[in-house]
Structure 1
Amino acid sequence: MPSKPPLKALQAFDALGRTGSIALAALDLGVTPGAVSQQLRKLEDALQATLVHHDGRGLRLTPLGTRYHARIREGFAAFDEAGAILGDAADDIIVLSCLTTVLGKWIGRRMRDWTDLDAHARIALVGADEEPDLSRGEADMRIYYGGRIHPPHRVELFTDHVVPACAPALIEGHRLSGPEDVLGFPLLHIAWNPRFTAGPGWQDWGRLVGRHPPSGDVTYGLSGSAIDAAIAGQGFVLAQTAFIGPELESGRLVIPYDLRLPLPEPYHLAWNPTSLEKPGARAFHRWLLGEGRAQGLLAAPAR
């Protein structure tokens, strides 16, 4: 079974993907080519996957390796972005950390509302799946989901619900006689990170409508990617209501049957108390709480 890859192995793999050769990767990292090769073997052993191969001229990424590197690069780019933010000498930047999809599909879309209220507070948004240590100043605030260990200074924001959504073209020309007909279309699945309590899946929704869903459809590692696939007409997605508001308003997604299931855990906002002394931080904190309350009302099923 695949295990968590070592950070040094990921760094070596990223360097190979960026530079295109063992020698240049070694130069980039300040180590020997042999050390890079050793880390690549460790990575493949940990993941139980073939990511590189010899093509006669040297090591190259396999097709799987190329796709994996694209995701790894996103992670290292986020580290670089966070480092640049934290390295900024200005003490008045308020750093809000969020899960990647929460940033891209929810709070990031609402920031214009905040800037209309307060154009002077300096906000930096960082998408990161790893939880920052707020006590060490790795971020000022964090929107996080669930969690086995909660920061001491936190408040519940909202509990989201999932609902089946699709592009209008997917069901155009089809006469749906009931919610169970949704299960006859391609279904897009979401593989939750093992450290979270998984949200409801199609099996759960199938029990809600009294029909067992088929298996064998596509699974995505990020809910945002599954939503994007649904927008592209690839199938139905059990989308979190917080992540699809603009798509519903624009008509890019529709909900034929509004039968919702709650996530097993809520989203929280955590913060470092000393960070609230930054200019605009208390107002921004209150605004986030208000956005959370509003989203909770929108997510709840209609009575």
Structure 2
Amino acid sequence: MSPLPPLKALQAFDALGRTGSLARAAADLGVTPGAIGQQLRKLEEAVKARLVEHDGRALRLTPLGATYHAQVRQGFAAFADAAATLRDANADIIVLSCLTTVLGKWIGRRMRDWTELDAQARISLVGSDAEPDLAQGGADLRIYYGGRLHPPHRTELFTDHIVPVCAPALIAGQRLSGPAEILRFPLLHIAWNPRFGANPGWAEWGRLIGAKPPPANLTYGLSGSAIDAALAGQGVVLGQLAFIGPELESGRLVIPFDLRLPLPEPYYLAWNPDSLKKPGARAFHRWLLGEGRAQGLASAPPL
């Protein structure tokens, strides 16, 4: 089987056939006429046939070149049809971007509730710590933390709280006379990305109870990783309540003393207004806001 001609050479040849002029072909592709001529020579070398000829100062297709161009044109038309098919297939997909742990430990766990409400809407969940440009189609909606970003269309979703949690086996058989007793167990620390600001840790929780915690035994860069370590019995972590609901319900994690600290800033939901025109997008937007309100109530200290 003969190798396929270079794609750039075929594009230059197609442009010449469509526009009928070397200069117009160059303008169509945004290159110089010399670059078009070079690609045409590469194409003729690849197919071992004369496809273009000079007609005075102009360049035109040979009869064989015209026949070949008709087939090449069909090929590029097929490429365009394939691209349109992909665009149409993705046109109705609602892309929700979230911080990695927010996706894995919070909203991703709730999506079954959404699908039971509206199975027709097509949702794509993307976990990323990079903030997408909603205006340029980077995503349709974004759940993010803190107020440093100010998208034109956003609303507060909920404020989360942290609380000390651990695997029940870690404190089994131990008599804890007060909150300060927690500090004698291995402490797991979460070091946030500096762009999110300072997160409350063991020092702040210690001030809440009037004690000075020792240095943390292990430090993690992601809240989800620290929570997983607590699940494995490695120590006590100040876990965000939004991220540990199922583990508390199942008893895989327990709260020795329910003394909660709020995060310094809330989570927000931002969106591209044009994206709300997608099928099911407005309903999904309302559902996300409802889930945020419910989480805010669940995370707040008990009355």
Give TM-score scaled by structure 2 length.
0.71
Distance (Å, rounded) in 1 between the aligned partners of 2:148 and 2:154: 14
Q: Which residue of 2 aligns with 1:153?
A: 153
Distance (Å, rounded) in 2 between the aligned partners of 1:196 and 1:87: 35
Distance (Å, rounded) in 1 between the aligned partners of 2:88 and 2:126: 14
- Whether 1:270 aligns to 2:260 is no
Within a 5 Å distance, the mapping from 1:95-110 to structure 2 comes to: 95-110=95-110
Within a 5 Å distance, the mapping from 1:118-197 to structure 2 comes to: 118-197=118-197
Counterpart contact for 2:94–2:122, Cα < 8 Å: yes
Distance (Å, rounded) in 2 between the aligned partners of 1:247 and 1:241: 10
Letter in 2 for 1:293: R
User: 1:111 offset after TM fit, Å?
Assistant: 0.1
Counterpart contact for 1:197–1:265, Cα < 8 Å: no
Q: How many residues matched?
A: 218
User: 1:149 offset after TM fit, Å?
Assistant: 2.4
Distance (Å, rounded) in 1 between the aligned partners of 2:273 and 2:289: 15
Q: Which residue of 2 aligns with 1:254?
A: 254
CA distance 1:216–1:250, change in 2 (3 Å): closer
Segments of structure 2 that go 5 or more residues without pairing to the other structure are: 1-85
CA distance 1:92–1:178, change in 2 (3 Å): same
1:136-175: CA deviation from partner (whole Å, max 9, x where unpaired): 0010000000041210100000000000000000000110
The structure with the largest alpha-carbon Rg is: 2
User: 1:260 offset after TM fit, Å?
Assistant: 0.2
User: 1:88 offset after TM fit, Å?
Assistant: 7.7
Distance (Å, rounded) in 1 between the aligned partners of 2:233 and 2:98: 28
Letter in 2 for 1:245: G
Segments of structure 1 that go 5 or more residues without pairing to the other structure are: 1-85
Distance (Å, rounded) in 2 between the aligned partners of 1:190 and 1:169: 22
Counterpart contact for 1:94–1:140, Cα < 8 Å: yes
Q: Which residue of 2 aligns with 1:286?
A: 286
Within a 5 Å distance, the mapping from 1:29-44 to structure 2 comes to: none
CA distance 1:197–1:87, change in 2 (3 Å): farther
The SS at the match of 2:90 is coil
- Whether 1:301 aligns to 2:266 is no
Letter in 2 for 1:298: A
Distance (Å, rounded) in 1 between the aligned partners of 2:256 and 2:215: 21
Q: Which residue of 2 aligns with 1:206?
A: 206
Give TM-score scaled by structure 1 length.
0.71
1:183-218: CA deviation from partner (whole Å, max 9, x where unpaired): 110000000101012221000001111110011510
The SS at the match of 1:162 is strand
Distance (Å, rounded) in 2 between the aligned partners of 1:301 and 1:177: 21
The SS at the match of 2:196 is coil
Letter in 1 for 2:274: T
Counterpart contact for 1:147–1:196, Cα < 8 Å: no
Give % identity: 79
1:258-289: CA deviation from partner (whole Å, max 9, x where unpaired): 00000000000000000000000000000000
1:1-41: CA deviation from partner (whole Å, max 9, x where unpaired): xxxxxxxxxxxxxxxxxxxxxxxxxxxxxxxxxxxxxxxxx
Letter in 2 for 1:229: A
Counterpart contact for 1:98–1:127, Cα < 8 Å: yes
1:67-92: CA deviation from partner (whole Å, max 9, x where unpaired): xxxxxxxxxxxxxxxxxxx9784200
Distance (Å, rounded) in 2 between the aligned partners of 1:294 and 1:169: 30
